[in-house]
Amino acid sequence: MVEVFAIPRRTLHEEVVDGLRAMLVEGRIAPGAKLNERELCALLCVSRTPLREAIKRMAAEGLVDLLPNRGAVAVKLSETDVLHAFEALAELEGISGELAAQRITAAEIAEIKALHYEMLASFARKDLHEYYRLNAQIHAAINRATRNPVLQKIYRETNARVQSLRFRSNQNETKWKQAVCEHEQILAALEKRDAVGLRALLVEHLVRKRNAVIDLMRAGELRERAAEPPPQRR
C-alpha cells in the first residue's frame, strides 16, 4: 500500500502578503506613495478582503504607515530616521552575531552555509530579487540562533522599516560586490564561532549599508532638485 503524504499548500493570504511585501521592498510601490487598492487587486488578482488583510500585516511589519485621511502609505524615512534606525540595527546585528556564535548548532551553521551558497549563485546570475531574499534569511537565521525571543522581536521590528533601503543599496554593482565579500567573512567567523569577530563584522556590515543608503538618498534629492524648474524672475 502506497503511503500518501499531505503536501502543505500556501494560503491565498500568504501569497498576497508575499506579493505585496516584494512590491514594497523592491520599490515597485514608491516610498511615500498611497496604496491604490483597486490597482493592487488587479495586479495581485485578488479581491479587496485579502488585500486589506495583507496591508494590515505590512503595517504591523513596518513597511506601511496607516495615516488618518490618507489610508495606507508606503513607509518613507527621512535621513535622520535612517541614521537612527541603522544605528540601532547595527548594534542589534552585532549582539546577534556575538550570541549566535556562542549558541548556534552545527545543523544551523550548515543551513546558513547552504543559504550562503544559494545567495552566491543568485549574485552570479545578477538576480537581485532572489539574492535579497536569501540574504535576509541569513541575517534572520543568525538572529534566531541567539535563542533570545526579546532580541528577535526588537530586531524584526527595527529591520522591517529599512528593508526597501537595504534592497536598494545592492543596486550599485561595486557596493553589491563588497557586501558579498563581507558575507564571506561573516560566514567564516560564524564557522569558527568567533563571537567578538562576528560582532565586529556585522556592525561594520550595517554601517556600510547605512552609508550606501544615505548616498542613495542624497543622490535622489539632488536629482529631484535638478528636475525642478528654475524660479521665475520678477
Residue 232 lies in a domain: no
Q: Are 160 and 77 in contact (CB under 8 A)?
A: no
Residue 183 lies in a domain: yes
Q: What's the number of domains the chain is made of? A: 2
213 and 98 belong to one structural domain: yes
Q: What is the mean pLDDT of residues 146-159?
A: 95
104 and 154 belong to one structural domain: yes
* Structure-model confidence comparison of residues 5 and 120, the more confident one: 120
> What is the domain extent for residue 60?
12-74
Between CA 170 and CA 212 the distance in angstroms is 9
Q: What is the pLDDT of residues 61-96, one digit of tens each?
A: 889 999 988 899 999 999 999 999 999 999 999 999
Among candidate residues 216, 211, 206, 173, the one with its CA nearest the CA of residue 31: 216
65 and 22 belong to one structural domain: yes
Between CA 184 and CA 172 the distance in angstroms is 19
Q: What is the pLDDT of residues 175-207, one digit of tens each?
A: 899 999 999 999 999 999 999 999 999 999 999
126 and 183 belong to one structural domain: yes
Tell me, what CATH number does 44's domain have?
Answer: 1.10.10.10
Residue 230 lies in a domain: no
Q: What is the pLDDT of residues 159-183, one digit of tens each?
A: 988 988 889 888 888 889 999 999 9
Q: What is the mean pLDDT of residues 219-230?
A: 56
103 and 58 belong to one structural domain: no
Phi, psi of 66 (to 5 degrees): -100, 110
- In DSSP notation, 109-131 reads HHHHHHHHHHHHHHHHTT-HHHH
Residue 219 lies in a domain: yes
Output the pTM of the full model: 0.81
| pLDDT for residue 223 is more than 60 | no
113 and 207 belong to one structural domain: yes
